[in-house]
Amino acid sequence: MLLTSTEPASAGFRFFVFTSRDPQSDFRRPLVGALRQYHGVYYIWMRRRPVVTGPDHASPASEMSLPALLKFLARLPNHGEINVYFNSTDVCFPGLMVLIRAIARRGIWCLDMHDDLRYYYRGLRRIRKNLAIAVSRKSSHVVVHAAPTLLELFLESHLLGNASHILPLSHDNVDPADVLGPVSP
């Protein structure tokens, strides 16, 4: 099933979040929710048959073949938005992401380095991961990192951190004794 764009014609940003994680446990879902408050966001779960949702909260998920995804990305109408492509695939698909970049509409490509991604690997597998990271970095305009400690591994990266759906709790009408329990002398 090929999706069609239901986005209003407006100048602004349009986001594409590519992930390799199950949406039920993806820590970047709150970021997608926050962005959707102001922008159209396509959330694309990369797997054998990619699943696309978006551009808004009400859009149903659509599973499609890889050729259908490429066709969808190439044919999305442009209403003057700046496209921002957020690659959070854990560098699982470096060659495919380069192909998608070549086919998709022009935009800003961001690589999400939320973790080291190499520390479980040794030998040839580690070399392959290093190569995948290098390809992904080279094909991105910007690299972002979640943990401040990753700056030492990715010197050109910018701190993005993690979004959360949890809001601050109200402290109105709260007795500190109810929170801390009885205080002994």
Class of domain 13-163: alpha beta
**Residues with Cβ within 8 Å of residue 68, at least 6 apart in sequence:** 2
Which residue shows structure tokens 């109200």?
Answer: 170
Q: Tell me the pLDDT tens digit for each residue of 4-32.
A: 445 444 459 999 999 999 999 888 888 89
Predicted TM-score (pTM) of the model is 0.75
Hey, where are the domains in the chain? 13-163
Q: What is the pLDDT of residues 39-90, one digit of tens each?
A: 999 999 999 999 999 999 889 999 999 999 999 999 998 888 999 999 988 8
DSSP state of 182: P
Q: If you compute the radius of gyration of the chain from its CA atoms, what whole number of angstroms results?
A: 20
Residue 90 to residue 110: CA distance in whole angstroms: 12
Which range among 16-30, 117-131, 161-175 shows the weakest confidence by mean pLDDT? 161-175
Tokens 């699943």 -> residue: 51
Where does the chain show beta strands of DSSP type E?
13-19, 40-45, 51-53, 62-63, 82-88, 107-113, 142-145, 158-159
What is the distance in angstroms between the CA of the first residue and the CA of the last residue of the chain? 69
How far is it, in rounded angstroms, from Cα 131 to Cα 13? 31
Torsions phi, psi for 103 (to 5 deg): -95, -35
Whether residue 141 contacts residue 110, with contact meaning beta carbons closer than 8 Å, is answered with yes
